Each structure stands twice: as C-alpha cells, then as structure tokens.
C-alpha cells in the first residue's frame, strides 16, 4: 500500500510514525496519561508535520541539484528558524486551553527550550530531506550515464555495421564470381577495389572521423563493384572537389548515402537510375549532397525495413555534432536528394 505513494510521502509517513513512538514515552511521563500524551503529540507535532509541507515546497523550488553544501546548510538554518517561529504561537497559545497541558509550567525559559527543540526538529527533517534528494540525484545521474554509454555503444555499432557492410561484401563476391564464370573483363579491377575497400574498413574501424579524401576513395572502390553488379541500370555522376580532401568527416558517411540512393532509385524509377554525388565547401561548412532519380518512399514500419540507412546517419550526426549540423531530405518531381551540412574542420 505504501508503494503507491511517492518516495517523499513514503519517508514522510514512516518517519513521523517512527518519531511518534520515539517521543511517546517522554510525553507520557510528563503528562502522566497516555491519552494526553497522544493528544499533545497530535497537536504539537501534527503542527510541525503540516509545517514541513510548505518547507518541502520551498526546498523543491530552490534546490537545483548543484548548490554547495554551505548553501544547503544556510537554507536549512533559515527555514528551520522560520518554521519554528511560525509554530511558536501554537506552542504558546495552547497554554491553559487544554486540560492536559496544565501540568506543564510555561515559563519563558521553557518556551525558549521548546523553540530550540522545534528548530532542531525542523533542521533534522531538512537534513534527511536533502540527504535523500542528493542520493536520489546521484542514482539518477548514474542511470543517465549508463544510458549515455549504451547510446554511444549503439552509435558505435551502427558505424561498424556500415563499415563492415557484409551485405555489400557478399553481393560484391557474387558479382566477382559471376564475372569469372562468364569470363568477363574487369575482374582484376573488381577484386582490387574490393580488397581496397576491405582495407579501408579495417584501417578505420576505431576512428570517429576520417579524411574526406580517404572516404571518397573508398566510395570509388564501392562504386566500381556496384557498377559491375548493376551494369547499365546505374548511372553515376560524382563530383568531389580536390580542395575538400583534407577535411575531416564522420567515418563511413558517403557510402551509406549512396547505397541508399541506389537502392531506392532502383525501387522507384525505371532504369537507368541516375545518382548524383556532390561534395563541396561552402564558407565554413561542408556540403554533401546525394541525389537519385525516383520517388521518396516513406520508411515503412522500421521493423519491416530492417536497417534504416538515413535514420542511422542522422543519429550518428546527432551524436558527433549535437546541433551543429543540418540534414534535409528533398523530394521534387523525379528526384530525391539528401543534403547534409557539417562544419568543415580539418
């Protein structure tokens, strides 16, 4: 039943019940009657209980999780004194009104002692409150950290998958075998390109960023094999300025974009599919544009499609650049294009 309440209320309820049993014997001795002791508790400590609620409200508003210990101690002191001052009229006002209070003699000194006692009570309550808050914050931070690590691992995995594009490798091997069986020309170039691509993949498997020049060369190797596989169906126009080769880009970004363009171009337009690749510098930014003939298909339900090339790229850019990048998918007439702008850093 207690589990239905929030953490605060669980501690609040259990704490005050425990406190009741703690002070009951003393009150019983002072008042000389069990009922009077309970009544006194309900009135005086009930009032303190009620005062902790606005205190919580105030603490919640001012505590942001990064204040210094001195700041917390200061606010506890101020809040406790204020709360005890607010309770003073209750302590004082009860004098003489209730029969069971008669046995206590109220002098100024007693009142001062009771005031001091309340200040301590509120301070203890506050220390507990902040203690639990700090611990909770710590636990939350740990969970968040674990999430970030998991996220990072996910992004990493996607990059490795794109890098070790087994789908492409096996298709390429299929093409090579076919070319050998049919005694076609160009097999040497195909095998060389496949070897270079594999080499590139292994060399950069731990790098977040690579030189655009290397990335472009790997794309060239990839395209040699795709051209051999798809023959006249595929028409590629690639324009990558030599001046951008020294710029660093996220590893394996061009090839998945092009793979996506070829794949969906084949699916949505009658052959030949034209794929246009353009990479150039625009002021302080690098512009990557990959366009294909065909139509934009809304990604079906993710699980049916399996891999979502573009969504993966976006997630990786998100991770690496935060909001310092721009990615847009444009669809007009018979062209679909993906534009990416990232900072041109070398």
Partner 1 sequence: MINSTLRALIVDDDPTARERLRFLLAEHPEINVAGEASSVATAMALCRDLHPNLIFLDVDMPGGNGFSLLEKLDPLPSVIFVTAYDAFAVRAFEVNAVDYLLKPISPRRLADAIQRLIHEPPRTQTIPYRTTDRVFLPHGRGYRIVFISDICGIEARENYTEVLLVDGTHVLMRRPLLEWDQRLPKSLFFSPHRSLIVNLKAVHNVVLESRARLSFKLQGRDRAFVMGQRPAARLRRALRLASE
**Residues at the site binding partner 1, with contacts judged by CB under 8 A:** 166-168, 170-171, 173-175, 177-179, 181-182, 228-231, 233, 263-264, 266-268, 297, 303-306
Q: How many CA atoms lie within 13 A of 169 on its CB side?
A: 12
Going by C-alpha positions, the residue among 145, 107, 162, 192 that lies closest to residue 313 is 162
Of the pair 74, 186, the CB lying nearest partner 1 is at: 186
d(CA 92, CA 106): 8
Of the pair 229, 316, the CB lying nearest partner 1 is at: 229
CB atoms within 10 A of CB 273: 22
Q: Whole-number minimum distance, CB 263 to partner 1, in Å?
A: 5
d(CA 102, CA 105): 7
Of the pair 183, 282, the CB lying nearest partner 1 is at: 183
Do residues 251 and 287 touch, judged by C-beta distance below 8 A?
no
Of the pair 297, 330, the CB lying nearest partner 1 is at: 297
Of the pair 108, 182, the CB lying nearest partner 1 is at: 182
Of the pair 132, 202, the CB lying nearest partner 1 is at: 202
User: What are residue 165's phi and psi, to 5 degrees?
Assistant: -70, 85
Of the pair 31, 260, the CB lying nearest partner 1 is at: 260
d(CA 142, CA 134): 12
Q: Whole-number minimum distance, CB 74 to partner 1, in Å?
A: 42
Of the pair 126, 292, the CB lying nearest partner 1 is at: 292
DSSP result, 116-166:
HHHHHHHHHHHHHHHHHHHHHHHHHHHHHHHHHHHHHHHHHHHHHHHHT-H
Question: Can you list the pairs that 267-270 forms with residues at least 24 positions away whose Cβ atoms lie under 8 Å?
Answer: 267/294, 267/297, 268/294, 268/295, 268/297, 268/336, 269/293, 269/294, 269/295, 269/334
d(CA 132, CA 65): 12
Angle formed by the axes of helices 187-203 and 212-230, nearest 10°: 140
Of the pair 138, 153, the CB lying nearest partner 1 is at: 153
Q: What is the DSSP letter of 76?
A: H
User: What are residue 42's phi and psi, to 5 degrees?
Assistant: -60, -40
d(CA 256, CA 265): 14
Give Cα 219 distance to the centre of its chain.
32
């Amino acid at each position: 039943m207690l589990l239905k309440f929030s953490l605060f209320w669980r501690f609040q309820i259990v704490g005050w019940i425990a406190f009741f049993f703690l002070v009951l014997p003393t009150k019983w001795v002072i008042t000389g009657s069990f009922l009077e002791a309970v009544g006194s508790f309900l009135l005086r400590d009930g009032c303190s209980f009620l005062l902790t609620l606005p205190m919580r409200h105030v603490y919640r508003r001012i505590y942001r999780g990064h204040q210094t210990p001195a700041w917390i101690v200061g606010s506890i002191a101020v809040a406790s004194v204020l709360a005890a001052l607010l309770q003073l009229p209750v302590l004082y006002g009860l004098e003489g009104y209730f029969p069971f209070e008669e046995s206590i003699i109220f002098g100024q000194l007693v009142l001062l002692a009771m005031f001091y006692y309340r200040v301590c009570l509120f301070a203890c309550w506050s220390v507990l409150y902040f203690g639990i808050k700090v611990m909770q914050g710590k636990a939350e931070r740990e969970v968040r950290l674990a999430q970030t690590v998991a996220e990072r691992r996910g992004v990493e995995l996607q990059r490795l998958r794109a890098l070790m594009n087994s789908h492409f490798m096996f298709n390429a091997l299929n093409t090579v075998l076919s070319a050998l069986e049919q005694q076609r020309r160009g097999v040497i170039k195909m095998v060389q390109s496949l070897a270079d691509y594999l080499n590139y993949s292994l060399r950069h498997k731990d790098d977040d960023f690579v030189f655009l020049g290397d990335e472009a060369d790997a794309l060239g190797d990839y395209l040699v094999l795709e051209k051999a596989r798809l023959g006249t169906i595929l028409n590629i126009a690639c324009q990558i300025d030599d001046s951008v080769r020294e710029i660093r880009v996220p590893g394996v970004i061009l090839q998945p974009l092009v793979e996506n363009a070829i794949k969906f171009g084949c699916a949505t337009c009658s052959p030949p599919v034209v794929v246009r690749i353009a990479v150039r510098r625009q002021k302080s930014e690098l512009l990557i544009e990959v366009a294909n003939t065909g139509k934009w298909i809304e990604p079906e339900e993710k699980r049916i499609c399996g891999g979502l090339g573009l969504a993966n790229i976006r997630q990786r850019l998100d991770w690496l650049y935060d909001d310092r990048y721009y990615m847009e998918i444009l669809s007009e007439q018979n062209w679909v294009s993906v534009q990416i702008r990232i900072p041109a850093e070398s």
